[in-house]
Structure 1
């Protein structure tokens, strides 16, 4: 990337394509849910639980993608393009072999994993089909994550956005064909949704690969695909493993909470799926701002601009909190209508509406975490958020969810109380961490 392009990086120029990309990823998931809801509510629950499990696996791919993104940004900030290219290629290679192993494991042991979750028997068939297809080909998602992270940190956030648009179009068309069976085509239900998802991901990766090769600013020494430099691997693992650890802990805790919800029955599972699908749109901006801020701070750290990085984090946090709270209020005001898009079950609508009201209290804490934790990662301070995350997610979120949800008998409302306390506690701790500037000592290229 030349100096002019590097100077043109701003929070807005980075964030809006990321915002659109994540929005489209969410729409892809919501398209699956919405279309399946016209087919069968139990199919929604089956796919929802399967995706909860797959999300944990996807986070495991993230340790390489996250490490690659941060190191590429820091090396570009230091104007070291050779190292950036070598790290990019090595990260793609490393994630490919790792994800292939996990894909085989998911295909072979999908039913065993679902049994551990104590999934209701009426959901097991559809969930197993979805896990076999989407889980067995999950390595493609690992490649998408890695290639996308590299392009974004080189400043090409629009490339990943355009690819996601294409993936969404293919996914929706595939869903329509397999769920509704136009022109006399067979109706495949959950199996069809899984095929559409896997196909759109595969084609999306092919396009991302072409874009990586095409961009002249991205110098890719392909010899690094087979020959890893010890220093690059050490950097990827030193940043990536702790960074993914925080997300892995979060998703694993969500799996534990999903296990609690399965004790409440299929209606509770379905309600959680619908509410979380809607909630994603509330904190979408905070996710995008957090990722854009991480890229900027990585460049700032590489260029040794510590004060600019310090201010950027706080300014981004204020913006993310304001947007998230506003969105939460708007969504709650229209909650009945939004939930009515997915279902006409009044129990689900009433319960879901109350959960969306509680989400207004949740969002300030969540927005703070999304921005400040990404800022700490961008600066190379990756271990602290993981340690605090594990303590809070399991000590607060999971334990509170179990106690208030199952023991006290508040159900989903009790589980949301655990979410709220966890996000607020971690958010406050992360703010103090950033203010204390301990991350300055950990910044490196």
Structure 2
């Protein structure tokens, strides 16, 4: 067992640092722009939800590359793994152009759909446009990191994330406030910083893939479109993307409901979600580790070893979340004060953080076992359960708690964690009821 746990930690810790870097970057950026006022906090929060939805639609490409390459790696057939990665890049480039056009033509319209105030729309349109451009690079980067994790190179993925997020923080500070001789651009500067960081990361990913990894994996060769493989990749990416989009769109509607409570409530909600993202961080990291190990062992022909690895990942990840939840419970108000000195914001945010501290374990269960199911390619189930739980439970329950029972922000978060609890338990049940000896590798045409 100790050897298995050591292997899990060697894969999970770099992923944890990588996700933490992204989370810390978002937190630092929010703290910096928070001093521009509660309206700017609300703008950033709403746009983060919009970007989460935009990213979710196309994130299935990166998730598919992750588990398919992990299976190919375990199977010893990296030629196919490289071919599948190329096909993923082709898809990403098409969607990158689409996202750029949406940002250019419809940024204000998309922001207006959130139902925020006219002041919020006026303040955030340019920032929204810049974030769409950044997302065009982001989906390519996510696919590349999916490849790195598929081959178990989580440390390299971590190093790239650390460097580019540090650059993003640097430009957020200098361009937002006009330091070191750069212009003071306010929120527009924050958006430019994200764009610069994502574009730089794409350049680094291109160099690593085509030059550094070429020596071992022969990555520098053009791959023609093989339509059966493209159909497989598109199908798997579509299912995982719709699953993520179902979750993110329901969160978008959740934000719209909270926005009806006023800009202070919306700002407090964003602060609490940002803090709780530190709980999502180990959940994602260990979930990704489950995908890597389950996919790899399936490729090696030992699915039962994959099942055991998924269980070990869930145990270790849960320990992380319990420790983190304890820290969040103890320091809820001091943490909330870092974001805003407005009592109407930090007091409500601190309350929401305290309520959520231990409930986030259910989000962990969801991610751990969903990662294991992705490793075996059980994407159809993940799609179906995500859709039904999001739209038959989460959205209606949020509406009832906020508007019918008049529970305000607290009611919204009751609905959020009820949703995560049910979703997590259903995915865990599926993981253990799967006939692991009957699981097969994903192949085109099957």
User: Scaled by the length of structure 1, what TM-score is found?
Assistant: 0.94
Distance (Å, rounded) in 1 between the aligned partners of 2:93 and 2:440: 28
Contact 1:9 1:155 in 2 (8 A): no
Q: Secondary structure at the match of 1:182?
A: coil
- Bigger mean CA offset, 318-327 vs 268-277: 318-327
Partner of 1:390: 387
Stretch moving more, 79-88 or 132-141: 132-141
TM-superposed deviation, 1:343: 1.0
Contact kept? 1:300, 1:308, Cα under 8 Å: yes
Residue 398 of structure 2: aligned partner? 401
Answer yes or no: is the 8 Å Cα contact 1:362–1:419 preserved in 2.
no
Q: Deviations over 1:107-147 (max 9, x none)?
A: 21111112221111111122211111121342111111111
* Alignment match of 1:32 (pick from 22, 29, 32): 29
Q: Which residue of 1 aligns with 2:77?
A: 80
Map of 1:324 onto structure 2? 321
Query: Are the equivalent residues in 2 in contact too, given 1:24–1:168 (CA < 8 A)?
Result: yes
Q: Which residue of 2 aligns with 1:4?
A: none
Preserved CA contact (<8 Å) 2:103 2:130:
no
User: Aligned partners of 1:290, 1:183: CA distance in 2, in Å?
Assistant: 40
1:95 equivalent in alignment to 2:92: yes
State the partner residue of 1:223: 222
Q: Are 2:168 and 2:193, in contact at CA under 8 Å, matched by a contact in 1? A: yes
C-alpha separation in 2, matches of 1:413 and 1:334: 19
Query: How much has 1:444 moved relative to structure 2?
Result: 1.7
Q: How does 1:121-140 map to 2 (within 5 A)?
A: 121-140=118-137
Counterpart Cα distance in 2 of 1:105 and 1:208: 25
TM-superposed deviation, 1:98 = 1.9
Verify the 8 A CA contact 1:376 1:439 in the aligned structure 2.
no
- Matching of residues 304-383 of structure 1 within 5 Å: 304-383=301-380
> 1:110 matched to which residue of 2?
107
Tell me which residue corresponds to 1:279.
276
| Contact 1:151/1:212, CA 8 A, preserved across alignment | no
Q: How far 1:252 sits from its partner (Å)?
A: 0.4
For 2:437 and 2:284, the matched residues in 1 are separated by: 23
Distance 1:440 1:256, change over 3 A: farther
Q: Is the 8 A contact 1:107 1:131 kept in 2?
A: no
Q: What is the alpha-carbon distance in structure 2 between the residues aligned to residue 258 and residue 32 of structure 1?
A: 20
Cα distance, 1:41 vs. partner? 2.1
What CA distance in whole angstroms lies between the structure 1 residues aligned with 2:89 and 2:36? 38
- For the 8 Å contact 1:313–1:371, the answer to whether it is kept is yes
Cα RMSD over matched residues? 1.8
- Note closer, same or farther for the CA distance 1:102–1:334 as it changes in structure 2 (3 Å cut): same
Equivalent residue of 1:217, what SS?
A: helix
Name the CA distance, whole Å, in 2 between partners of 1:358 and 1:397: 18
Distance 1:209 1:136 in 2: 18
Structure 2 residue 411 is matched with structure 1 residue 411: no
- Which residue number corresponds to residue 8 of structure 2? 11
- Could you list the runs of 5+ residues in structure 1 that have no partner in the other structure? 1-6
Aligned partner of 1:267 in structure 2 is 264
How far residue 150 of structure 1 moved from its aligned partner, in angstroms, is 0.8
Relative distance call for 1:324 and 1:260 in structure 2 (3 A) is: same
Distance 1:46 1:39 in 2: 11
TM-score (norm 2): 0.94
Distance 2:396 2:295 in 1: 35
The whole-number CA distance in structure 1 between the counterparts of 2:21 and 2:180 is 28
1-structure distance, mates of 2:266, 2:84 = 41
1:161 equivalenced with 2:152 (yes/no): no
What runs of 5+ residues in structure 2 fail to find an aligned partner?
none
| Contact 2:303–2:439 under 8 Å retained in 1 | no
Q: 1:8 to 1:72 in 2, by over 3 A?
A: farther
Query: What aligned pairs does 1:214-253 form with structure 2 within 5 A after superposition?
Result: 214-215=212-213, 216-220=215-219, 222-224=221-223, 227-253=224-250
What CA distance in whole angstroms lies between the structure 1 residues aligned with 2:387 and 2:427?
13
Return the alpha-carbon distance in structure 2 between the equivalents of residues 107 and 212 of structure 1.
30
User: Structure 1's 404 and 98: CA in aligned 2 closer, same or farther, altered over 3 A?
Assistant: same
Q: Give a deviation string over 1:288-316, Cα, whole Å, max 9, x none.
A: 11101111111111112111111111221
Looking at structure 2, the residues matched to 394 and 151 of structure 1 have their Cα atoms a distance apart, in angstroms, of 34
**Residues 67, 235 of structure 1: 8 Å contact kept:** no
Separation in 2, partners of 1:166, 1:182: 21
Per-residue Cα deviation, 1:193-218 (whole angstroms, up to 9, x for no partner): 00111001111111111111211223
Instruction: Name the structure 2 match of 1:67.
Output: 64
1:357-381 deviations in whole A, cap 9, x for unaligned?
2213421211110100111011110
For residues 435 and 122 of structure 2, what CA distance do their matches in structure 1 show?
A: 50
Matched, 1:421 2:421: no
In 2: Cα distance, 1:328 partner to 1:274 partner:
16
